[in-house]
Chain A
């Protein structure tokens, strides 16, 4: 478990994260008119925990357990070959056919859009979903690709010099979103 960084601005606390996820769960159900054919797929690492929390909320609201999957984008990144390969990677685990389903892709921070591009390519290799929607906890701007989120926890204006960290109970021992300066 890593040390909690020193933030110059706190964007969301645990209550804020909880409320944002509750709202997103409602928005997903409203937009899709229930959870027929719905499935959540989290982008490793923190998107996975957010997708589980969203699934729990949908279960509370609709009494239905939507299928959950995990996508690892390491093999789909566009910067393979720009640095030494990462020697730690997770596994994609989508235990249901994606073809014909409405997939909610879940990630923690939407920034350049490159991770989402990689995740979309990864998903397409698994089948042909009816549609793919994107849910993120934070949208910090600075897109480099024509990608937008369908569900956003919070829009946070940032400069490229800053880092946005999403800390989650499951990996970091606490729920917190903060901004810090790039370390020299």
Chain B
């Protein structure tokens, strides 16, 4: 039965803030948007006349392109601001930049920033809706949502599904968003990595912790491999890439000990031969490219659910 449930949020800053019901709403709406990307004319007029700003203070190809495509398929106008070519290098603060952008009548600002919490700061300072596209080691909600969407498409449910997240949990905003979202929906999450990559208090997020990949592998339904974030390493957290690959890399030998229908996910970009071997990244159980396609649908859903336009803003 059709309901008139509304999604009444100004910003999407993280999955920590969203209720299970809100997360499910986004996933339901995303499902409808996937059809649009499969059409010959991949465009609907829904956000015509609205302006989406991609404000990126960190390099990103996948996420920025995904948000850009999502906005364009909804007929919004998109402007990309990247740090190397904007005033940030000339010393302008985040909020000044955002206020300047807003003076050009933006409706939604998609922000990525190396500092955790920057999107929260921005959301308080501007009238535009803000979507966090990744802040420091804090959250990456659109990635968390697309991971949930992909799991739902394959498993049909969340309750009782076992997910194993492997790698640099400490530096991973994807892991944090995944854990918030998954635990809210009844997924059993285990995190795995060298002790130097596991935050001390991670257990408080409702996950199981292990340093033994092989032991954790046997039971799991989904393996989420994380990238070693070389740009966030300041040395000394693991002996060598080779040794990391030996203990925490996913290869054919290891996969043979997992369930036969185990699904393999990775938020990208993939370091082939480090956390995942090339033949595994390309195998039939790998959902890596499907995650990327689903990302566009999920981001379309977020932009749609936040869009209120001039009339909506006046009314609320």
Contacts and interface: CB of A to CB of B under 8 A. Distances in A.
A125 B40 CA distance: 8
A75 B43 CA distance: 10
A2 B75 CA distance: 36
A75 B308 contact: no
A126 B45 CA distance: 13
A80 B307 contact: yes
B200 interface: no
A88 B3 contact: yes
A171 B50 CA distance: 36
Contacts of A1: 1
Given A80-B307, A85-B304, A45 B45 contact: no
Contacts of B307: 80-81, 85
B43 A125 contact: yes
B314 to A, nearest CB: 10
A72 interface: yes
Contact of B6 (A80, A84, A122, A125): A84
A93 interface: yes
Interface string B30-54: 0110011001110111110010000
A82 B44 contact: no
A85 B26 CA distance: 12
B7 A84 contact: yes
Interface string A79-96: 011111111111111000
A86 B309 contact: no
B202 interface: no
A84 B43 CA distance: 21
Contacts of A85: 6-7, 304-305, 307-308
B36 A86 contact: no
Nearest to B46: A75
Contact of B312 (A76, A83, A89, A127): A83
Interface string A113-148: 000000001100111000000000000000000000
A90 B32 contact: yes
Q: Is the interface of B mostly helix, strand, loop or mixed?
A: loop
A92 B43 CA distance: 13
B312 A84 contact: yes
Contacts of B35: 91-93
B149 to A, nearest CB: 14
B104 interface: no
Interface residues of B, number: 35
B41 A125 contact: yes
A56 to B, nearest CB: 24
B286 interface: no
B2 interface: yes
Nearest to B34: A91
Interface in A11-66: 45
Given A72-B32, A80-B309, A86 B6 contact: yes
Nearest to A125: B41
Task: List 10 tightest A-B contacts by C-beta distance, closest first.
Answer: A81-B309, A84-B6, A75-B44, A82-B311, A87-B7, A75-B46, A87-B25, A91-B32, A125-B41, A89-B32
Interface of A: 1-2, 45, 72, 74-76, 80-93, 121-122, 125-127, 171
Given A81-B308, A85-B6, A87-B28, 4 more contacts: A80-B46, A84-B316, A90-B32, A125-B44
25 contacts: A45-B2, A75-B36, A75-B74, A75-B304, A76-B44, A80-B46, A81-B310, A82-B312, A84-B7, A84-B8, A84-B308, A85-B307, A86-B5, A86-B6, A87-B5, A87-B305, A88-B3, A88-B4, A88-B5, A88-B28, A90-B32, A91-B31, A125-B41, A125-B44, A126-B39
